[in-house]
Amino acid sequence: MVERIQDVAHLGAVELLTPKPEGTLWFFHDLFGMEIVHRDGGTHYLRGYGDHAAATLKITPAKAAGIGCVAWRATSPEALERRVAAIEAEGLGLGWSNGDFGRGRSYRFRDPDGHAMEIYYEEVRYAPPPELRSTLKNLPQKFTGRGVNVRRMDHLALFCKSVPENRRFAQETLGMRLSEQVIFNQGRDEIGAWLSPSPVHHQVAYVADAAGVHGRLHHVSLWVDNRGDVMRAADILAENGVFIEAGPSKHNNSQGFYLYSYEPGGNRVEVYSGSYLIFAPDWQTVVWNEQERGTGVYWGATLPASFASYGTPVVEAQKSNATVIDPM
Protein backbone atom coordinates (compact mmCIF):
# COMPACT_ATOMS: atom_id res chain seq x y z
CA MET A 1 0.00 0.00 0.00
CA VAL A 2 1.29 3.46 -0.90
CA GLU A 3 1.40 5.67 2.19
CA ARG A 4 -1.21 8.39 1.88
CA ILE A 5 0.03 11.97 1.98
CA GLN A 6 -1.64 13.74 4.90
CA ASP A 7 -0.72 17.33 4.16
CA VAL A 8 -4.27 18.68 3.83
CA ALA A 9 -6.21 18.92 7.09
CA HIS A 10 -9.72 19.89 6.02
CA LEU A 11 -11.96 22.04 3.87
CA GLY A 12 -11.42 25.59 5.10
CA ALA A 13 -13.85 27.85 3.28
CA VAL A 14 -16.09 28.07 0.24
CA GLU A 15 -16.84 31.16 -1.85
CA LEU A 16 -20.24 31.32 -3.50
CA LEU A 17 -20.92 33.69 -6.39
CA THR A 18 -24.38 35.18 -6.55
CA PRO A 19 -26.30 37.54 -8.83
CA LYS A 20 -28.67 38.24 -5.91
CA PRO A 21 -26.35 38.96 -2.96
CA GLU A 22 -29.08 40.37 -0.68
CA GLY A 23 -31.23 37.27 -1.15
CA THR A 24 -28.27 34.95 -0.70
CA LEU A 25 -27.27 36.75 2.49
CA TRP A 26 -30.85 36.51 3.81
CA PHE A 27 -30.83 32.78 3.06
CA PHE A 28 -27.59 32.02 4.93
CA HIS A 29 -28.01 34.54 7.77
CA ASP A 30 -31.74 34.57 8.49
CA LEU A 31 -32.75 31.07 7.41
CA PHE A 32 -29.56 29.06 7.97
CA GLY A 33 -28.63 30.99 11.13
CA MET A 34 -25.06 31.76 10.12
CA GLU A 35 -23.32 34.87 11.48
CA ILE A 36 -21.89 37.63 9.31
CA VAL A 37 -18.36 38.26 10.60
CA HIS A 38 -16.90 40.61 8.02
CA ARG A 39 -17.89 42.83 5.10
CA ASP A 40 -15.70 44.05 2.26
CA GLY A 41 -17.73 46.19 -0.11
CA GLY A 42 -20.54 43.94 -1.30
CA THR A 43 -18.75 40.77 -0.20
CA HIS A 44 -19.75 39.08 3.06
CA TYR A 45 -18.00 36.47 5.19
CA LEU A 46 -20.05 34.10 7.36
CA ARG A 47 -19.66 31.14 9.70
CA GLY A 48 -21.64 28.41 11.38
CA TYR A 49 -21.78 28.43 15.20
CA GLY A 50 -19.48 25.39 15.43
CA ASP A 51 -16.89 26.55 12.91
CA HIS A 52 -13.57 27.27 14.63
CA ALA A 53 -12.24 29.46 11.83
CA ALA A 54 -13.14 33.13 11.54
CA ALA A 55 -15.16 32.52 8.37
CA THR A 56 -16.11 29.46 6.31
CA LEU A 57 -18.47 30.93 3.73
CA LYS A 58 -17.80 33.93 1.48
CA ILE A 59 -20.64 35.42 -0.52
CA THR A 60 -19.48 37.42 -3.51
CA PRO A 61 -21.73 39.40 -5.86
CA ALA A 62 -21.32 38.27 -9.48
CA LYS A 63 -23.18 38.27 -12.80
CA ALA A 64 -24.13 34.63 -12.38
CA ALA A 65 -24.30 32.02 -9.64
CA GLY A 66 -21.46 29.56 -9.23
CA ILE A 67 -18.47 28.59 -7.17
CA GLY A 68 -15.65 31.03 -6.40
CA CYS A 69 -12.57 29.86 -4.52
CA VAL A 70 -12.47 26.61 -2.48
CA ALA A 71 -9.88 26.92 0.31
CA TRP A 72 -8.11 23.95 1.90
CA ARG A 73 -6.14 24.14 5.13
CA ALA A 74 -2.75 22.40 5.23
CA THR A 75 -1.67 20.47 8.33
CA SER A 76 1.51 22.56 8.88
CA PRO A 77 3.64 25.23 7.19
CA GLU A 78 5.89 22.44 5.87
CA ALA A 79 2.89 20.53 4.51
CA LEU A 80 1.78 23.70 2.74
CA GLU A 81 5.14 24.02 0.99
CA ARG A 82 5.09 20.33 -0.01
CA ARG A 83 1.60 20.58 -1.53
CA VAL A 84 2.46 23.80 -3.36
CA ALA A 85 5.47 22.08 -4.92
CA ALA A 86 3.27 19.15 -5.98
CA ILE A 87 0.62 21.47 -7.46
CA GLU A 88 3.29 23.45 -9.33
CA ALA A 89 4.72 20.22 -10.72
CA GLU A 90 1.27 19.51 -12.18
CA GLY A 91 1.29 22.92 -13.87
CA LEU A 92 -1.87 24.02 -12.03
CA GLY A 93 -0.40 26.70 -9.77
CA LEU A 94 -1.40 30.36 -10.00
CA GLY A 95 0.68 31.96 -7.24
CA TRP A 96 0.85 33.25 -3.67
CA SER A 97 -1.25 35.92 -2.00
CA ASN A 98 -1.33 37.37 1.50
CA GLY A 99 -4.59 35.50 2.09
CA ASP A 100 -8.29 36.25 2.20
CA PHE A 101 -10.08 37.39 5.37
CA GLY A 102 -9.15 35.16 8.32
CA ARG A 103 -6.33 33.38 6.52
CA GLY A 104 -2.57 33.89 6.19
CA ARG A 105 -0.36 33.42 3.16
CA SER A 106 -2.25 31.35 0.60
CA TYR A 107 -1.42 29.66 -2.67
CA ARG A 108 -4.00 29.86 -5.45
CA PHE A 109 -4.38 27.05 -7.98
CA ARG A 110 -6.96 25.37 -10.19
CA ASP A 111 -8.08 21.77 -10.18
CA PRO A 112 -7.83 20.05 -13.60
CA ASP A 113 -11.43 21.08 -14.37
CA GLY A 114 -10.65 24.73 -13.72
CA HIS A 115 -12.32 25.30 -10.32
CA ALA A 116 -10.42 27.96 -8.36
CA MET A 117 -8.80 26.64 -5.17
CA GLU A 118 -6.41 27.82 -2.49
CA ILE A 119 -4.24 26.15 0.13
CA TYR A 120 -3.05 27.85 3.33
CA TYR A 121 -1.95 27.04 6.87
CA GLU A 122 -2.21 30.20 8.98
CA GLU A 123 -5.74 30.81 10.14
CA VAL A 124 -7.42 33.27 12.49
CA ARG A 125 -9.40 31.45 15.15
CA TYR A 126 -12.82 32.96 15.70
CA ALA A 127 -13.10 35.33 18.66
CA PRO A 128 -16.78 36.14 19.30
CA PRO A 129 -18.05 39.57 20.29
CA PRO A 130 -19.63 39.60 23.80
CA GLU A 131 -23.17 39.05 22.50
CA LEU A 132 -22.11 35.88 20.67
CA ARG A 133 -19.96 34.38 23.43
CA SER A 134 -21.10 30.90 24.43
CA THR A 135 -21.46 29.84 28.06
CA LEU A 136 -19.94 26.53 26.92
CA LYS A 137 -16.17 26.90 26.93
CA ASN A 138 -15.48 24.54 24.04
CA LEU A 139 -18.04 26.07 21.69
CA PRO A 140 -16.55 28.85 19.54
CA GLN A 141 -19.80 30.78 19.38
CA LYS A 142 -23.18 30.89 21.06
CA PHE A 143 -25.87 28.54 19.77
CA THR A 144 -28.36 31.20 18.75
CA GLY A 145 -31.16 28.88 17.63
CA ARG A 146 -31.90 31.12 14.65
CA GLY A 147 -33.49 29.29 11.73
CA VAL A 148 -31.83 26.06 10.62
CA ASN A 149 -28.85 27.00 12.81
CA VAL A 150 -26.26 25.00 10.84
CA ARG A 151 -23.25 23.92 12.89
CA ARG A 152 -20.52 23.97 10.26
CA MET A 153 -19.43 23.84 6.65
CA ASP A 154 -19.28 20.17 5.68
CA HIS A 155 -18.53 19.58 1.98
CA LEU A 156 -19.16 20.56 -1.60
CA ALA A 157 -19.83 18.71 -4.83
CA LEU A 158 -18.26 19.93 -8.06
CA PHE A 159 -19.42 19.11 -11.55
CA CYS A 160 -16.52 18.32 -13.88
CA LYS A 161 -15.86 17.13 -17.40
CA SER A 162 -13.51 14.30 -16.39
CA VAL A 163 -14.05 12.61 -13.03
CA PRO A 164 -10.90 10.40 -13.28
CA GLU A 165 -8.64 13.40 -13.95
CA ASN A 166 -9.96 15.42 -11.01
CA ARG A 167 -10.23 12.42 -8.69
CA ARG A 168 -6.57 11.56 -9.39
CA PHE A 169 -5.54 15.15 -8.68
CA ALA A 170 -7.41 15.19 -5.34
CA GLN A 171 -6.00 11.78 -4.40
CA GLU A 172 -2.43 12.00 -5.62
CA THR A 173 -1.59 15.70 -5.57
CA LEU A 174 -3.67 16.86 -2.60
CA GLY A 175 -3.52 13.50 -0.77
CA MET A 176 -7.20 12.83 -0.14
CA ARG A 177 -8.79 9.47 0.65
CA LEU A 178 -11.17 8.09 -1.96
CA SER A 179 -14.14 7.07 0.16
CA GLU A 180 -16.59 5.96 -2.51
CA GLN A 181 -16.94 5.84 -6.30
CA VAL A 182 -19.66 5.31 -8.86
CA ILE A 183 -18.43 3.52 -11.98
CA PHE A 184 -20.76 2.40 -14.78
CA ASN A 185 -20.40 0.29 -17.95
CA GLN A 186 -18.48 -2.56 -16.34
CA GLY A 187 -15.80 -0.32 -14.91
CA ARG A 188 -15.35 1.92 -17.95
CA ASP A 189 -17.24 5.10 -16.99
CA GLU A 190 -16.28 6.78 -13.74
CA ILE A 191 -19.09 9.21 -13.05
CA GLY A 192 -18.62 10.11 -9.39
CA ALA A 193 -15.90 10.23 -6.72
CA TRP A 194 -16.27 11.17 -3.04
CA LEU A 195 -13.01 12.27 -1.39
CA SER A 196 -11.81 13.65 1.93
CA PRO A 197 -8.58 14.65 3.68
CA SER A 198 -10.15 13.91 7.09
CA PRO A 199 -12.39 11.30 8.79
CA VAL A 200 -15.42 13.17 7.42
CA HIS A 201 -16.80 10.89 4.71
CA HIS A 202 -16.30 13.40 1.89
CA GLN A 203 -15.34 17.05 1.77
CA VAL A 204 -15.36 17.21 -2.01
CA ALA A 205 -17.25 15.13 -4.54
CA TYR A 206 -16.51 15.21 -8.24
CA VAL A 207 -19.49 14.37 -10.43
CA ALA A 208 -19.61 14.13 -14.24
CA ASP A 209 -21.27 17.17 -15.81
CA ALA A 210 -23.72 16.01 -18.48
CA ALA A 211 -23.53 19.49 -20.02
CA GLY A 212 -19.92 18.75 -20.95
CA VAL A 213 -18.61 22.06 -19.60
CA HIS A 214 -16.00 22.98 -17.03
CA GLY A 215 -15.95 24.64 -13.61
CA ARG A 216 -19.51 24.29 -12.34
CA LEU A 217 -20.86 23.77 -8.83
CA HIS A 218 -23.31 21.00 -8.03
CA HIS A 219 -23.91 21.95 -4.40
CA VAL A 220 -22.43 23.19 -1.16
CA SER A 221 -23.43 21.42 2.04
CA LEU A 222 -23.81 22.52 5.66
CA TRP A 223 -24.01 20.20 8.63
CA VAL A 224 -26.70 19.87 11.29
CA ASP A 225 -26.49 17.44 14.19
CA ASN A 226 -29.35 15.07 13.43
CA ARG A 227 -32.10 14.03 11.03
CA GLY A 228 -34.71 15.97 12.98
CA ASP A 229 -32.76 19.15 12.27
CA VAL A 230 -32.84 18.34 8.55
CA MET A 231 -36.63 17.92 8.64
CA ARG A 232 -37.00 21.11 10.66
CA ALA A 233 -34.94 22.84 7.95
CA ALA A 234 -37.51 21.66 5.38
CA ASP A 235 -40.27 23.38 7.39
CA ILE A 236 -38.26 26.59 7.68
CA LEU A 237 -37.43 26.71 3.96
CA ALA A 238 -41.01 25.88 2.93
CA GLU A 239 -42.42 28.57 5.26
CA ASN A 240 -40.13 31.09 3.60
CA GLY A 241 -40.96 30.20 0.02
CA VAL A 242 -37.61 28.59 -0.77
CA PHE A 243 -37.67 25.96 -3.52
CA ILE A 244 -36.92 22.48 -2.17
CA GLU A 245 -35.56 20.28 -4.94
CA ALA A 246 -35.20 16.98 -3.05
CA GLY A 247 -35.46 15.37 0.36
CA PRO A 248 -35.49 14.97 3.25
CA SER A 249 -34.34 11.47 2.24
CA LYS A 250 -31.34 9.20 2.61
CA HIS A 251 -28.64 8.58 -0.01
CA ASN A 252 -27.26 5.09 -0.45
CA ASN A 253 -23.66 6.10 -1.02
CA SER A 254 -22.33 8.24 1.87
CA GLN A 255 -25.48 7.32 3.89
CA GLY A 256 -26.17 11.06 3.98
CA PHE A 257 -29.55 12.35 5.13
CA TYR A 258 -30.19 15.28 2.84
CA LEU A 259 -32.32 18.25 1.92
CA TYR A 260 -31.51 20.13 -1.29
CA SER A 261 -32.75 23.63 -2.01
CA TYR A 262 -31.73 26.55 -4.21
CA GLU A 263 -30.67 29.75 -2.46
CA PRO A 264 -32.08 32.93 -4.07
CA GLY A 265 -28.94 33.39 -6.21
CA GLY A 266 -29.53 29.97 -7.76
CA ASN A 267 -26.86 27.84 -6.12
CA ARG A 268 -27.95 24.43 -4.84
CA VAL A 269 -27.44 24.18 -1.06
CA GLU A 270 -27.74 21.03 1.04
CA VAL A 271 -28.63 20.64 4.71
CA TYR A 272 -26.92 17.41 5.73
CA SER A 273 -26.61 14.97 8.61
CA GLY A 274 -26.09 11.27 9.21
CA SER A 275 -23.39 9.85 6.92
CA TYR A 276 -20.45 8.05 8.55
CA LEU A 277 -16.84 8.71 9.51
CA ILE A 278 -13.83 6.79 8.19
CA PHE A 279 -10.82 6.16 10.41
CA ALA A 280 -9.18 3.14 8.76
CA PRO A 281 -5.82 3.96 7.10
CA ASP A 282 -6.34 0.97 4.78
CA TRP A 283 -9.90 1.96 3.79
CA GLN A 284 -11.05 0.11 0.70
CA THR A 285 -13.00 2.41 -1.60
CA VAL A 286 -16.64 1.38 -1.93
CA VAL A 287 -17.47 1.17 -5.65
CA TRP A 288 -21.06 1.21 -6.91
CA ASN A 289 -22.19 0.01 -10.35
CA GLU A 290 -25.47 0.86 -12.12
CA GLN A 291 -27.51 -1.80 -10.37
CA GLU A 292 -26.09 -1.08 -6.92
CA ARG A 293 -26.25 2.70 -7.29
CA GLY A 294 -29.80 2.72 -8.66
CA THR A 295 -31.19 6.21 -8.26
CA GLY A 296 -28.72 7.17 -5.55
CA VAL A 297 -31.51 7.15 -2.99
CA TYR A 298 -31.58 4.50 -0.25
CA TRP A 299 -35.12 5.34 0.75
CA GLY A 300 -37.44 8.25 0.14
CA ALA A 301 -38.58 9.89 -3.08
CA THR A 302 -36.53 9.50 -6.27
CA LEU A 303 -34.29 12.44 -7.07
CA PRO A 304 -35.73 14.70 -9.80
CA ALA A 305 -34.07 14.88 -13.24
CA SER A 306 -32.77 18.35 -12.35
CA PHE A 307 -30.48 16.80 -9.74
CA ALA A 308 -28.32 15.27 -12.47
CA SER A 309 -28.30 18.29 -14.78
CA TYR A 310 -28.76 21.51 -12.78
CA GLY A 311 -25.61 23.26 -11.65
CA THR A 312 -24.24 26.76 -11.42
CA PRO A 313 -23.52 28.71 -13.47
CA VAL A 314 -26.59 27.59 -15.40
CA VAL A 315 -25.73 26.51 -18.95
CA GLU A 316 -27.72 27.76 -21.93
CA ALA A 317 -28.00 24.32 -23.49
CA GLN A 318 -26.96 20.81 -22.63
CA LYS A 319 -24.47 18.50 -24.37
CA SER A 320 -21.65 19.46 -26.70
CA ASN A 321 -22.91 22.85 -27.82
CA ALA A 322 -23.40 24.06 -24.25
CA THR A 323 -22.03 27.43 -23.27
CA VAL A 324 -21.47 28.66 -19.76
CA ILE A 325 -22.63 32.06 -18.61
CA ASP A 326 -19.56 33.96 -17.44
CA PRO A 327 -19.76 33.85 -13.63
CA MET A 328 -17.79 37.03 -12.98
Contact positions toward Fe ion, by CB under 5 A? 221, 270
Residue 7 or 270 with smaller CB distance to Fe ion = 270
Least separation in angstroms between residue 230's CB and Fe ion is 12
Residue 263 or 270 with smaller CB distance to Fe ion = 270
Angle at 290 between CA 284 and CA 295, to 5 degrees: 105
Least separation in angstroms between residue 154's CB and Fe ion is 8
Residue 278 or 325 with smaller CB distance to Fe ion = 278
Quote the CA–CA distance of 8 and 114 in Å, as a whole number: 20
Residue 111 or 270 with smaller CB distance to Fe ion = 270
Q: How far is CA 213 from CA 16, 18, 91, 272, in A?
A: 19, 19, 21, 27
Least separation in angstroms between residue 155's CB and Fe ion is 6
Residue 207 or 211 with smaller CB distance to Fe ion = 207
Residue 140 or 296 with smaller CB distance to Fe ion = 296
Q: What are phi and psi of 141, to 5 degrees?
A: -155, 150
Quote the CA–CA distance of 155 and 285 in Å, as a whole number: 18
Quote the CA–CA distance of 319 and 31 in Å, as a whole number: 35
Least separation in angstroms between residue 185's CB and Fe ion is 24
Closest among 127, 79, 126, 116 to 94, alpha carbons compared? 116
Residue 55 or 271 with smaller CB distance to Fe ion = 271
Least separation in angstroms between residue 1's CB and Fe ion is 28
Residue number of the CB closest to Fe ion reads: 221
Q: Is 243 helix (H, G, I), strand (E, B) or coil?
A: coil
Residue 141 or 253 with smaller CB distance to Fe ion = 253
Half-sphere exposure of 172 (CA within 13 A, CB side): 9
Residue 11 or 54 with smaller CB distance to Fe ion = 11
Least separation in angstroms between residue 194's CB and Fe ion is 9
Half-sphere exposure of 315 (CA within 13 A, CB side): 23
Least separation in angstroms between residue 221's CB and Fe ion is 4
State the first-to-last Cα distance of the chain, in angstroms, to the nearest integer: 43
Least separation in angstroms between residue 327's CB and Fe ion is 21
Quote the CA–CA distance of 261 and 10 in Å, as a whole number: 25
Quote the CA–CA distance of 199 and 52 in Å, as a whole number: 17
Least separation in angstroms between residue 157's CB and Fe ion is 5
Beta carbons of 310 and 320 less than 8 angstroms apart: no
Q: Residues 36, 37, 39, 44: what is their CA dihedral angle, to the nearest 10 degrees?
A: -50
Angle at 241 between CA 239 and CA 243, to 5 degrees: 115
Beta carbons of 49 and 36 less than 8 angstroms apart: no
- Return the biggest CA–CA distance within the chain: 58
